């Protein structure tokens, strides 16, 4: 068969393919469905465990078996992602209501990694069996799995808004979801109230759901912003850990600060990071009243103890801990979920509305299914009751029949060419048979003991029950209020069994302001080499090696630790670095690149000049660009706390060639690439603002450009290839003196 080649536009193909990939990641991997609050991998793990019969009242099963079965049947994307999903659903410090019961090492709140899947076991939690998976076979649609050999549910019939209860985190292409967890009891109260009053506002809804409830507890310190977060579905929560003061009980004991709850964002390696941060604060003398720190956390909860010196300022230490460590952190809220196959940012009201819409859909499917079964049952029961009244004729017909099929047809039609009933009276009755096929099969399967009086009475009672159920199911399907009553009854039973007190509390805390004592200014020497690495050294070390240092380093400034290094780049920006932030090193140490200490990017621009803030006082900056524009700017314009500012405005395709410190009594010399030199007096150079472009300073040929500028010293001449060029003064805009061309 000949190969078929399709020609298409490359960019269009890339765009279409990437869009398809993006939507696949969004809808099929990273973002949960609003109906059951689960991502596809979570849904598949739970469904597979249900299929394996690993229920809460059964024995646990090896995690490796669960992961392998899930991967082989439903999720062929690798067992590591499946096991990670299984682990997270079992961790009570990450989920308000764990959906899986884990046996073995499933990790810890302190960041300990779980054991390999071959060592751990798991089974479904009772909540999952009762609330997430109940009526699975009656209520949801199924679709083919990845190889179309099996079926998997499109969604699980969750009877509770799991998206709110356990929250969700996921990163897709171009979007992410980050929804906090909430208190089950509060959600139950909200659902009941909302069913009774669907027009309630989000503000009214928040009388029931007070805010997020994280499994690690803690404090939400911006309570006033919660209404806006629940109205828009996005925002930032300010989380704080809970600190308790324990005074010394005995003379030998010490006062303690005990952290009993942590922000949810500290789950993982956050506790060890917090302890190392506290140790660094102590080493840097920012906190001097903490004598020891140790972690006594266990399965019963968090307990991080900080021992204090006698009469330590407790409030100040607490504020420092909140300000300088992750004990106060920000949680970004973005309640994004898949709604009807599309990603949508949800507010509190839309989440509850979608949940109830799904519940009514589940009830409708469930009771239609049950109604069909009861109607089938009613049909058979009516046939059996009728058969009991006609039992003599039926027995006579059966004696005359040659096969089951023949008897079945007679029961359905009352006709047969081969069956002859000898008793004419019974024959007349038999000819009136008009049972349905289902009834005929039931009669043929009926056992004789069913003719006992009590059995017949039970059959009639079952028939009455069937009629009552049919009536009830029809009412539920017809009357939405009946369905609402069922949801309310269900929600109340869930609250009764699984409800618990809230862990996270709220306040409107003031922004913490720490008045830090300014460190004592110390003299030092700033060094920067031609490769852009900078450092500071002790002044005595500089004095001992002055000649070597001055020769080896491009920039050398004697300065103080409270000073700032000022770096000018070719793109017209000025970058500032606090000298105290530059490492104080030994002479042989390399130092740190400017890129790591500021926003300067050596891949985009070059350094043209470096100064220190004390060095530039009471002077002017002379700025010359590659295309010959010049100006003077008062250095006071650059006295700012901003780390990055625009030093000058540039034309397109122009760059800064030099930023020179200029004094009124000294001339400036400009040098071009073709070795033209222009000497200017400062009074002839216009004094402009840093936001201007400057004026034409030198006339350049098409191929020439400015490469340097320097301050002219008395009787200066430039030695180029052993030939001296005298630098006579010329006016602004002149061509300049021609030097000797450099090779």
* Cβ atoms < 10 Å from Cβ of 389: 11
Are the C-beta atoms of residues 154 and 28 closer than 8 Å to each other?
no
Rounded Cα distance between 596 and 612, Å, is: 18
Strand residues in 487-530 grouped as ranges (E)? 505-506, 523-528
Are the C-beta atoms of residues 411 and 435 closer than 8 Å to each other?
yes
Strands 100-103 and 142-144 come out as: unpaired
Nearest to 367 by CA among 511, 536, 485, 268: 485
Are the C-beta atoms of residues 439 and 380 closer than 8 Å to each other?
yes
Q: How far apart are the first and last CA of the chain?
A: 67
Beta bridge partners of 622: 632, 660
Which positions ≥6 away from 156 have C-beta within 8 Å? 36, 38, 43, 46, 47, 132, 133, 136, 140
Say which residue the tokens 């990017």 belong to: 601
**Dihedral over Cα of 699, 700, 702, 705: its sign:** negative
**Dihedral over Cα of 702, 703, 707, 712: its sign:** negative
Q: What is the dihedral of CA 708, 710, 712, 717, to 10 degrees?
A: -50
For residue 119, indicate whether it is catalytic.
yes
Nearest to 698 by CA among 729, 738, 670: 670
Strands 256-261 and 242-246 come out as: antiparallel
Helix (H) or strand (E) holding 10: helix 10-25
3-state secondary structure of 377: helix
- Could you say which DSSP state residue 351 is in? H
| Triad 563, 568, 573: Cα angle to 5° | 110
416 is written with which tokens? 């047969």
Rounded Cα distance between 366 and 137, Å, is: 9
- DSSP for 202-222, written as a single string: HHHHTTT--S---TT--EESB
φ, ψ (nearest 5 deg) of residue 565:
-85, 135
**b/e per residue 431-447 (b: at least 16 CB within 10 A):** eebebeeebbbbbbebe
Are the C-beta atoms of residues 695 and 623 closer than 8 Å to each other?
no
Rounded Cα distance between 624 and 618, Å, is: 20
Rounded Cα distance between 9 and 284, Å, is: 61
Rounded Cα distance between 660 and 596, Å, is: 25
How far does CA 415 lie from the centroid of its chain?
Answer: 73
- Looking from the CA of 415 toward its CB, the CA atoms found within 13 Å total 1
φ, ψ (nearest 5 deg) of residue 567:
-115, 130
650 is written with which tokens? 């540039």
Are the C-beta atoms of residues 638 and 681 closer than 8 Å to each other?
no
Measured CA distances, 521 to 201, 540, 562, 563, 687 (Å)? 58, 16, 6, 9, 34
φ, ψ (nearest 5 deg) of residue 333:
-100, 130
Rounded Cα distance between 106 and 87, Å, is: 6
Catalytic residue chosen out of the listed positions 18, 119, 146, 294: 119
Which positions ≥6 away from 256 have C-beta within 8 Å? 245, 246, 248, 305, 306, 307, 308
Active site residues: 119
């Amino acid at each position: 068969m000949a190969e078929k080649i399709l020609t298409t536009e490359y960019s269009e193909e890339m765009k279409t393919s990437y869009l398809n990939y993006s939507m696949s990641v969004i809808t099929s991997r990273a973002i949960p469905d609003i109906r059951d609050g689960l991502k596809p991998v979570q849904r598949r793990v739970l469904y597979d465990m249900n299929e394996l019969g690993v229920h809460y009242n059964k024995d646990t099963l090896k995690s490796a078996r669960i992961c392998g079965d899930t991967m082989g049947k439903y999720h062929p994307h690798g067992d590591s992602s499946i096991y990670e999903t299984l682990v997270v659903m079992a961790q009570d410090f990450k989920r308000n209501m764990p959906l899986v019961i884990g046996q073995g090492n499933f990790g810890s709140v302190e960041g300990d990694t779980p054991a390999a899947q071959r060592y751990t076991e798991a089974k479904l939690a009772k909540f999952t069996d009762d609330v997430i998976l109940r009526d699975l076979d009656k209520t949801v649609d199924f679709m083919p799995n990845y190889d179309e050999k099996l079926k998997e549910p499109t969604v699980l019939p969750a009877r509770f808004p799991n998206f709110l209860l356990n929250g969700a985190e996921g990163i897709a292409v171009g979007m992410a979801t980050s929804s906090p967890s909430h208190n089950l009891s509060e959600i139950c109260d909200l659902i009941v109230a909302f069913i009774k009053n669907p027009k309630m506002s989000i503000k009214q809804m928040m009388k029931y759901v007070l805010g997020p409830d994280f499994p690690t507890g803690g404090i939400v310190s911006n309570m006033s912003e919660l209404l806006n977060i629940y109205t828009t579905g996005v925002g930032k929560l300010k989380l704080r850990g809970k600190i308790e003061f324990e005074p010394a009980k005995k003379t030998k004991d010490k006062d303690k600060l005990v952290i009993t709850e942590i922000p949810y964002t500290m789950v993982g390696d956050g506790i060890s990071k917090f302890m190392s941060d506290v140790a660094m604060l102590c080493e840097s003398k920012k906190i001097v009243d903490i004598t020891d720190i140790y972690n006594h956390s266990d399965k019963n909860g968090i307990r991080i103890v900080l021992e204090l010196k006698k009469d330590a300022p407790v409030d100040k230490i607490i504020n420092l801990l909140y300000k300088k460590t992750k004990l106060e952190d920000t949680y970004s809220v973005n309640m994004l979920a898949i709604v009807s196959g599309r990603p949508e940012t949800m507010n509190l009201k839309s989440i509850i509305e979608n949940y109830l819409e799904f519940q009514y859909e589940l009830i409708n499917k469930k009771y239609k299914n049950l109604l069909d079964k009861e109607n089938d049952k009613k049909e058979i029961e009516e046939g059996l009751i009728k058969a009991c009244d006609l039992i003599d004729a039926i027995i006579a017909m059966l004696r005359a029949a040659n096969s089951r099929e023949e008897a079945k047809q007679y029961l359905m039609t009352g006709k047969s060419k081969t069956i002859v009933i000898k008793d004419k009276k019974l024959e007349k009755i038999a000819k009136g048979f008009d049972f349905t096929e289902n009834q005929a099969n039931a009669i043929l399967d009926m056992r004789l003991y069913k003719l006992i009086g009590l059995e017949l009475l039970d059959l009639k009672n079952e028939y009455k029950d069937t009629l009552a159920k049919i009536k009830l199911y029809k009412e539920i399907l017809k009357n939405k209020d009946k369905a609402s009553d069922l949801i309310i009854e269900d929600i109340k039973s869930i609250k009764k069994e699984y409800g618990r007190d809230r862990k996270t509390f709220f306040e409107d805390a003031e922004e913490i302001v720490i008045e830090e004592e300014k460190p004592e200014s110390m003299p030092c020497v700033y060094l920067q080499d031609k490769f852009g690495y900078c450092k500071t050294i002790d002044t005595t070390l500089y004095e001992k090696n002055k000649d070597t240092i001055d020769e080896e380093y491009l920039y050398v400034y004697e300065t103080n630790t409270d000073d700032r290094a000022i770096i000018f780049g070719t793109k017209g920006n000025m970058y500032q670095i606090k000298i105290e932030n530059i490492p104080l090193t030994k002479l042989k140490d390399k130092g740190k690149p400017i890129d790591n200490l500021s926003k300067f990017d050596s891949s985009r621009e070059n350094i043209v000049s470096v100064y220190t803030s004390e060095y530039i006082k009471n002077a002017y900056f002379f700025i010359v660009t590659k295309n010959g524009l010049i100006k003077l700017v008062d250095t006071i314009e650059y006295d700012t706390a901003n780390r990055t500012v625009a030093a000058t405005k540039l034309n397109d395709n122009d760059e800064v060639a030099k930023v020179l410190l200029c004094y009124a009594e000294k001339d400036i010399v400009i040098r071009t690439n073709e070795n033209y030199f222009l000497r200017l007096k400062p009074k002839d150079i216009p004094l402009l603002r840093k936001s201007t472009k400057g004026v034409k300073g030198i006339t350049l040929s098409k191929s020439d450009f400015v490469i340097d500028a320097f301050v002219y010293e008395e009787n200066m001449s430039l030695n180029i290839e052993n030939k001296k060029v005298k630098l006579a003064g010329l006016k602004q805009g002149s061509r300049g003196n021609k030097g000797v061309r450099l090779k």
